[in-house]
Amino acid sequence: MTKVITIKLVQTGPNAGPFTISDLSGNIIAENVSKKTLIGGISYVVDVSVNSIILTSTGKCNLSIVIPLEVYNIIEYQNIKYTQSVTGCVWRHLTNIQLYNTFYGAIEPYIIEYPFTYKFQDELLQNVKDYTKAYKYLSIPDGVFNDNTRIETNDEWFNKAVLYNGQQSSGILELVAKPMHNMRAYMQYPILNAESKTITYTKSDNFYQYNTFWAAEKSSQVPLFKTTCENLSIDKVVNQANMDYGPRSFKKATLRAKELKVRHILDNSSTTHLVSQFITTPAQISYK
């Protein structure tokens, strides 16, 4: 025989979900159930012997709880309100020295932004030079951490950049290491993508540097960024609807203003440890 059960989420953390629902015997009732669905309430048909279920969060926050099936009347059920707890789960940081910006099994972006203010006249940005040490850590045979297990790399760095001021933006710049001793591969860049532009960077005299950028916004009277709801620590995302990454033979405007912000992003690796030292943005005065 079977019966109908109704599940409604009462409290959880901000990073919980999606969920897998099973009974105590290990039988899967439902998979990939969103938090929004459980907050609203959902019903399932189960065996009449099931008196408890296991609710497992399978996303970034991995946790499982056993929930007894209690009986509510319709009024009590409708009055159940959802509240979000401040802390969804407990995690430990840097338990593996070879991993850095990984949380709950997912890579989270490492973002650093530098502001620059020029003097009286506007200045034209020429290139970006960043003094950052990029480390990779080797496995430790004896389990005791020491600096001898790390190496400093030359081809690992931030994989994205955004250069902008109050009215201009480079859009998303995908950063890749310059192909060495391969002119044919190097001549393929810049690569113009639908929502980004791929350019190369080099490391010379311990500076990572790049210079293939121009203003990509369609209009300075349309916002250059949008607020992100995915992760408030990211702060903002590029408004791609206002970006044009297509070829611009005669419209490659330079980044020109009395201020500049350089945003570097690492979101494709968690095995690279970046230690940022300082950055410089060589520019020349723009006379008008």
Segment 170-207, tens digit of pLDDT: 999 999 999 988 889 989 999 999 999 999 999 999 99
Q: Helix (H, G, I), strand (E, B), or coil: what is residue 222?
A: coil
Q: Please give the distance of CA 225 from its chain centroid, rounded to a whole number.
A: 15
Q: Are residues 56 and 28 part of one domain?
A: yes
In a domain, 95, yes or no: no
In a domain, 91, yes or no: no
Full domain range(s) for residue 52: 2-84
Output phi, psi for 172, to 5 deg: -80, 120
Exposed/middle/buried for 102, CB within 10 Å: 0-12, 13-18, 19+?
middle
Tokens found for residue 182 = 């391969």
In a domain, 80, yes or no: yes
Q: Helix (H, G, I), strand (E, B), or coil: what is residue 269?
A: coil
Q: Are residues 252 and 121 part of one domain?
A: yes
Q: Report the 3 state secondary structure along 23-54.
A: ECCCCEEEEEECHHHHHHCEEEEEECCCCEEE
Q: What's this model's pTM, rounded to 2 decimal places?
A: 0.69
Name residues of the chain where pLDDT drops below 50: 88
**Last residue in a domain, options 26, 58, 84:** 84
Q: Position of tokens 């059960």?
A: 5
Task: Indicate which CATH number applies to the domain containing 22.
Answer: 2.60.40
pLDDT of residue 146: 66
In a domain, 89, yes or no: no
The CA distances from residue 12 to 20, 39, 62, 85, 231, in Å, are 15, 10, 12, 6, 17
Tens digit of pLDDT for each residue in 222-247? 999 988 755 555 678 899 999 999 88
Q: Are residues 129 and 76 part of one domain?
A: no
In a domain, 154, yes or no: yes
